C-alpha cells in the first residue's frame, strides 16, 4: 500500500501540470463538421422534458452516459439507441465521470454540492460524498457543474468561481488534494481523454484543449446552451466524433454529435516481438479438433479467452473478451451464451458446481451463478494486480483454498484469499515468463500450468519442470478434464482471433501427464454443516448464514434504509432494514396515530412537510399516471392554497399549490383515476403529482 500511495502522488503532480496556463488564447472557428446529428430522440421518447447536462463515454460498457438537471441518469448506445433511464427526484445532476477501472459504477455531480456513486446493476446510488465545504452552491443556482476522472482523482469545477477542486474519493469522506484557479470563467463541463492526455474544458461558448500545461487549442462552439462534452476514442486515427449536450430547459433534448473532430495521438513505441513457437516441441497430437462451432452459431463474434471444466456440472465454461460467458457440453455442443459485461479474461472452478469465478482484465473477480447466469458477488483486486496500458488480469485459477490471478502486464501471479467480502493478498509469485495469458492448476498432478507468449510452462514445487511451444496462435485459455491415473490426457486451448476471426476452442489428444498419489487433506471444511465450504462461508460457525447479505442503515428510524452495508447476518440487526427506499436518511417522516416521534423533532403525530421531512421515501417513487388505489387513503383541501394527502402508511403530508392569502378551502380533484390531482382555489388551478406535491 505504501508504494501505491507514492505512485498516486506522483500521478497527481504530473496531472497538475496540465493546468499551469492562462487563457490568453485566440478562439478559432469550429474544426469539426459544421452540421450536427441530434441523437436525443430516444431520451425524449422516455422523458420529453429531459434537460441534458453532463455526458461521458464509458469505454468499458461501450455506452454513452448522460445526466439531466432534474435527477435523471441515462445509458444509451453511441447512436442514441437502446435508452435506459433512472430517475432521482429532487437531485440536480450536472455532470458524470467515468472511472475506467470499473464497469459497475459511475460518479454523478449534484449542483447542490454532492458527488454520488451510481450502481448500474442495482440502479441506485450506493455512496455519497458531501463536498459543499469545497464547492458551495451560490445563489441557489451556481454550484458544481463539471466532473471528470483523471489518474485516480476526480476534478470538479464550480460554476460560481471557476475553480477546480481535486478530490480523492477512495474513502467514505472526500479529501481535497488541491484547488486550482486558472480563470476558467464558467466551466460547464470537463472531460479528460486518456488516450491523448488532453483535458477538454467547456464553457462560455468555447471548447478549450489543455495539454502539457498549456492551452493548445480553443474553439468557438456551434449551437447554444452547451453543458456537456465527451469524445469517442479515435486513436490511431487523426479525428473522432465529439458529443455536445445542450440544455434547452425542457423544450427538447439535444445530444449532438459532430464528426471529424481533430485529435493528436501519441506515437506508439515499437513492440518487442514475441518468440515464434516451434510446433515440433509440442508433445501431444499435432492436429486439433475445434469445438467452437456451437458457440459461434449463437455468438459469431465471441472472442474466446479463459476456459475451465466444471466437473460437478459436466460443462465447459468459456469467458469472452466482450463480457460473455459460454457454457457447452464436453463436445462443444448444446451451447448457451450469456452477457454479463466487462473484459473477461479468466475463469476458474473451486469444486462447487453451482458457481464459477470470472477474472475481469480491469481488476475484478466475479462469482458467477451457473443457474441464474448472473454475477452474485464481486471482489475488487486492483490493489494486487498490475494493470498498465490496457493490460491487466489475464489468468485465473483455484488451488487449495486460494485464487491465483496472473497479470498480463508484468507476468506476476497474485495469490488471493476471497473468503470474505474483500480480497486479501497471500503472496506474489514471479516466474519471469513474459506476456501471461492464462494459468490452470491441476490438482491430480499438483502442477500449475502457465500460458505465456505462445508457450506452455509446467510449474511443480515452485520450479519450472517443462516448456512446450503451443500450436496455433493467440492462445488465451487452457484446461484439462481430470484423467488420472492415465499417463496422457486431452488438453483444451482457446485462441482469441478478434470479433471477426472465428471461435477457436481446440482439443489436443495425448498430452503427457504425471499423476501423483496424493493423500487427501481437508483444506476447506464445512464446520457448521450448512453445505458451504469454510472459504466461501462468511461465518462457518453459524448454519443460518453462509453469504453476506446487504442491509441498509436506517439513521432516521423511519423504516426506510439508505446506506448499504454487507453483513454476515440472517436477519437485519438493530438500526438496519432490508430496503434502500430512503432519499434522505437525515430526515424521518411522521406516521399519524402511532403515538411515536418518528422524525425525532420532539412532536408526535404531526403533519409532514417536504422542507422538514423530505419527500416520502416510498410513495414519491410511484408512477402518478397509474391508479392511486391502495396508496392514498384521503385528501383534503386547506386554505392559503394548501392541501393534505394521507398515504397508505398513515403518513400525512401538507403541500402548497399556490402562494396566496385566500382562506377559501382549496378543491382537490383526482384526474381520471390517476395520482395526478387538480388543485383549485378561486381563479388558480394546477395539476400536481399527489405523491410529491410537484
**445-484: pLDDT as tens digits:** 999 999 998 899 999 988 898 889 899 889 899 999 988 8
For residue 417, being part of any structural domain is answered with yes
Q: Of the residues 512, 530, 560, which one is the last residue of a structural domain? A: 512
Do both 323 and 466 map to the same domain?
yes
Residue 269 pLDDT more than 60?
no
Q: Is 125 among the domain residues? A: yes
Please tell me whether the peptide bond between 236 and the residue prior to it is cis, using omega within 30 degrees of 0. yes
Same-domain check for residues 148 and 258: yes
The per-residue pLDDT for 184 is 65
The domain in which residue 631 lies consists of 610-689
Mean pLDDT of 670-674: 92
Least confident of 54-68, 78-92, 289-303, 543-557: 543-557
Residue 276's pLDDT is 53
| 96 in the same domain as 32 | yes
124 located within any domain: yes
Q: What is the CATH number of the domain that holds 498?
A: 2.130.10.10
pLDDT of 348-381, one tens digit each? 999 999 999 999 999 999 999 999 999 999 999 9
- Could you tell me what percent of the chain has a pLDDT over 70? 92
Q: How many residues does the chain have?
A: 694
pLDDT(43) > 80: yes
Instruction: Residue 228: give its domain's CATH number.
Output: 2.40.128.630
Q: What is the DSSP string of 418-455?
A: -SSSS-EEEEEE----SSEEEEEEETTTTEEEEEETTE
Q: How far apart are the first and last CA of the chain?
A: 49
- Residue range 582-635, pLDDT digits in tens: 767 777 889 888 888 888 888 887 899 998 888 898 899 899 999 999 999 999
- Is 472 part of any domain? yes
The answer to whether residue 279 scores a pLDDT higher than 70 is no
pLDDT by residue (tens digit) across 53-68?
Answer: 999 999 888 999 999 9
The pLDDT of residue 641 is above 90: yes
Report residue 358 CA to chain centroid gap: 16
- Position 3 pLDDT exceeds 60: no
What is the pLDDT at residue 687? 96
Q: Output the pLDDT for position 562.
A: 78
- Between 250 and 419, residue with greater pLDDT: 419
- pLDDT at res. 588: 83
- pLDDT over 70 at 522, yes or no: no
DSSP letters along 306-363, please? Answer: EEEEETTTTEEEEEETTSEEEEE-TTS-S-EEEE--S-EEEEE--S-TTEEEEEETTT
Strands ordered across the beta sheet of 144-150: 144-150, 153-158, 164-168, 175-180
Residue 272 lies in a domain: no
Over residues 202-225, the mean pLDDT reads 87
Residues 238 and 289 in one domain: no
- The answer, yes or no, to whether residue 690 has pLDDT greater than 90, is yes
Where do we find the cell 498419489? 517
Instruction: Read off the pLDDT band of 550 (50, 70, 90).
Output: confident
Average pLDDT, the chain: 87
Mean pLDDT of 664-682: 94
How does strand 503-512 pair with strand 488-496?
Answer: antiparallel
pLDDT at position 265 is 92
Q: Is the pLDDT of residue 7 over 70?
A: no
Query: Cis (ω within 30 of 0) for the bond into 485?
Result: yes
In a domain, residue 519? The reply is no
Q: Report residue 539's pLDDT band, with 50, 70 and 90 as the boundaries.
A: confident
Is there a single domain that holds both residue 283 and residue 258?
Answer: no
- What are the two backbone dihedrals, phi and then psi, of residue 620, each rounded to the nearest 5 degrees? -70, -10
pLDDT at 186: 77
Q: What share of the chain is helix, strand, coil (3-state, %, to 5)?
A: 5, 45, 50
Burial track 229-259 (b if 16+ CB lie within 10 A, e otherwise)? bbbbebeeeeebbbbbbbbbeeebbbbbbbe
Are residues 311 and 243 both part of a single domain? no
Residues 257, 291 within the same domain? no
pLDDT at 278 over 60: no
The number of angstroms, rounded, from the C-alpha of 626 to the middle of its chain's C-alpha atoms is 32
Q: Is the pLDDT of residue 19 over 60?
A: no
Residue 268's pLDDT is 64
List residues bridging with 378 in a β-sheet. 366
Same domain, 328 and 220: no
pLDDT at 386: 86
Last residue of one domain, picked from the residues 512, 544, 567: 512
pLDDT at residue 13 is higher than 60: no
Q: Count, in order, helices (H) and strands (E) of the chain.
A: 4, 49
Mention every residue, 6+ apart, whose C-beta is less than 8 A from residue 300: 503
Q: Please indicate, yes or no, whether residues 250 and 290 belong to a single structural domain of this protein.
A: no
Whether residue 438 contacts residue 306, with contact meaning beta carbons closer than 8 Å, is answered with yes
Q: State which of 512, 534, 557 marks the end of a domain.
A: 512
How far, in Å, CA of 262 to CA of 433, rounded? Answer: 40
- Do 191 and 335 have their domain in common? no
Task: Report yes or no on 136 lying in a domain.
Answer: yes
According to DSSP, the β-strands at 72-76 and 84-87 are: antiparallel
Burial class (CB in 10 A: 0-12, 13-18, 19+), 174: buried
pLDDT of residue 604: 87
Total domains present in the chain: 3
pLDDT band at 270 (very low <50, low <70, confident <90, very high): low
Helical residues (DSSP H) of 106-178, grouped into ranges: none
Position 516 pLDDT exceeds 80: no
Question: What is d(CA 361, CA 342) in angstroms, rounded to the nearest whole number?
Answer: 8
pTM of the predicted model, to two decimals? 0.44
Give the pLDDT confidence score for residue 22 in this predicted structure.
43
Summarised one tens digit per residue, pLDDT across range 96-145 is 999 988 889 999 999 999 999 999 999 999 999 999 989 888 776 678 99
Q: What is the chain's alpha carbon radius of gyration, rounded to the nearest angstrom?
A: 29
Q: Which residues pair with 512 in a beta bridge?
A: 488
Q: Output the pLDDT for position 523.
A: 63
- Short-list 280, 281, 255, CA closest to 54: 255
Q: How far is CA 59 from the centre of its chain?
A: 11
Verify that 295 and 257 share a domain, yes or no: no
The three grid cell numbers given for residue 240, joined into one nine-digit string: 473522432
Of residues 560 and 287, the one with the higher pLDDT is 287
Residues 366, 309, single domain; the answer is yes
Quick one: average pLDDT of 164-174?
Answer: 91
How far apart, in whole angstroms, are the C-alpha atoms of residue 297 and residue 146?
A: 45
Is position 232 within any domain? Answer: yes
Amino acid at each position: 500500500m505504501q508504494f501505491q500511495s507514492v505512485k498516486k502522488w506522483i500521478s497527481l503532480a504530473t496531472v497538475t501540470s496540465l493546468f499551469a496556463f492562462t487563457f490568453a488564447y485566440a478562439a478559432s472557428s469550429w474544426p469539426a463538421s459544421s452540421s450536427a446529428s441530434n441523437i436525443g430522440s430516444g431520451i425524449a421518447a422516455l422523458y420529453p422534458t429531459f434537460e441534458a447536462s453532463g455526458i461521458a463515454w464509458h469505454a468499458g460498457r461501450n455506452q454513452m452516459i448522460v445526466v439531466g438537471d432534474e435527477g435523471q441518469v441515462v445509458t444509451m448506445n453511441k447512436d442514441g439507441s437502446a435508452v435506459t433511464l433512472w430517475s432521482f427526484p429532487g437531485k440536480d445532476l450536472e455532470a458524470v465521470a467515468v472511472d475506467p477501472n470499473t464497469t459497475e459504477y459511475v460518479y454523478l455531480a449534484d449542483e447542490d454540492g454532492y458527488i454520488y456513486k451510481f450502481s448500474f446493476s442495482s440502479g441506485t446510488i450506493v455512496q455519497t460524498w458531501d463536498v459543499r465545504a469545497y464547492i458551495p452552491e451560490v445563489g441557489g443556482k451556481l454550484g458544481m457543474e463539471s466532473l471528470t476522472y483523471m489518474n485516480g482523482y476526480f476534478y470538479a469545477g464550480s460554476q460560481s468561481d471557476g475553480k477546480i477542486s481535486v478530490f480523492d474519493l477512495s474513502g467514505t469522506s472526500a479529501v481535497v488534494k488541491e484547488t486550482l484557479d486558472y480563470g476558467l470563467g464558467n466551466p460547464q463541463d470537463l472531460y479528460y481523454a486518456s488516450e491523448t492526455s488532453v483535458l477538454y474544458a467547456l464553457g462560455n461558448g468555447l471548447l478549450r484543449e489543455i495539454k502539457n500545461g498549456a492551452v493548445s487549442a480553443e474553439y468557438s462552439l456551434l449551437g447554444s446552451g452547451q453543458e456537456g462534452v465527451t469524445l469517442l476514442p479515435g486513436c490511431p486515427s487523426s479525428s473522432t466524433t465529439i458529443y455536445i449536450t445542450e440544455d434547452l430547459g425542457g423544450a427538447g433534448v439535444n445530444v449532438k454529435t459532430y464528426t471529424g473532430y481533430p485529435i493528436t495521438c501519441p506515437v506508439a513505441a515499437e513492440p518487442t516481438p514475441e518468440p515464434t513457437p516451434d510446433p515440433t516441441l509440442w508433445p501431444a497430437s499435432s492436429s486439433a479438433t475445434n469445438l467452437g462451432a456451437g458457440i459461434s452459431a449463437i455468438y459469431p463474434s465471441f472472442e474466446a479467452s479463459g476456459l475451465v471444466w466444471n466437473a460437478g456440472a459436466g460443462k465447459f465454461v468459456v469467458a469472452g473478451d466482450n463480457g460473455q460467458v459460454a457454457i457447452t457440453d464436453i463436445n462443444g455442443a448444446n451451447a448457451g451464451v450469456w452477457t454479463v459485461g466487462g473484459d473477461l479474461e479468466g475463469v476458474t472452478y473451486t469444486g462447487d458446481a453451482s458457481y464459477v469465478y470470472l477474472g475481469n482484465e480491469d481488476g475484478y473477480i466475479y462469482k458467477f451463478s451457473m443457474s441464474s447466469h448472473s454475477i452474485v458477488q464481486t471482489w475488487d483486486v486492483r490493489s494486487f494486480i498490475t494493470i498498465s496500458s490496457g493490460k491487466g488480469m489475464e489468468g485465473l485459477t483455484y488451488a487449495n483454498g486460494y485464487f491465483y490471478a496472473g497479470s498480463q502486464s508484468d507476468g506476476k501471479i497474485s495469490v488471493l484469499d476471497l473468503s470474505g467480502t474483500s480480497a486479501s493478498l497471500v503472496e506474489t509469485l514471479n516466474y519471469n515468463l513474459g506476456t501471461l495469458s492464462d494459468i490452470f492448476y491441476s490438482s491430480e498432478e499438483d502442477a500449475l500450468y502457465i500460458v505465456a507468449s505462445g508457450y506452455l510452462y509446467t510449474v511443480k514445487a515452485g520450479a519450472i519442470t517443462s516448456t512446450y511451444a503451443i500450436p496455433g496462435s493467440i492462445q488465451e485459455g487452457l484446461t484439462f478434464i481430470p484423467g488420472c491415473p492415465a499417463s496422457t490426457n486431452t488438453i483444451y486451448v482457446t485462441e482469441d482471433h478478434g470479433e471477426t476471426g472465428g471461435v477457436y476452442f481446440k482439443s489436443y489428444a495425448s498430452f503427457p501427464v504425471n499423476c501423483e498419489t496424493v493423500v487427501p487433506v481437508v483444506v476447506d471444511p464445512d464446520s457448521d454443516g450448512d453445505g458451504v465450504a469454510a472459504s466461501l462461508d462468511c461465518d462457518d460457525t453459524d448454519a443460518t448464514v453462509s453469504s453476506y447479505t446487504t442491509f441498509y442503515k436506517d439513521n432516521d428510524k423511519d423504516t426506510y434504509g439508505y446506506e448499504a452495508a454487507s453483513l454476515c447476518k440472517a436477519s437485519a440487526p438493530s438500526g438496519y432494514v432490508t430496503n434502500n427506499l430512503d432519499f434522505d436518511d437525515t430526515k424521518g417522516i411522521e406516521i399519524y396515530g402511532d403515538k411515536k416521534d418518528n422524525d425525532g423533532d420532539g412532536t408526535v403525530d404531526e403533519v409532514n412537510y417536504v422542507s422538514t421531512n423530505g419527500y416520502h421515501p416510498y410513495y414519491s417513487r410511484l408512477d402518478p399516471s397509474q391508479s392511486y388505489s391502495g396508496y392514498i387513503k384521503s385528501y383534503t383541501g386547506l386554505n392559503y392554497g394548501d392541501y393534505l394527502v394521507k398515504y397508505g402508511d398513515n403518513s400525512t403530508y401538507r403541500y402548497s399549490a399556490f402562494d396566496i392569502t385566500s382562506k377559501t378551502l382549496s378543491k382537490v380533484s383526482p384526474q381520471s383515476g390517476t395520482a395526478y390531482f387538480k388543485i383549485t382555489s378561486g381563479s388558480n388551478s394546477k395539476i400536481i403529482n399527489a405523491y410529491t406535491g410537484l
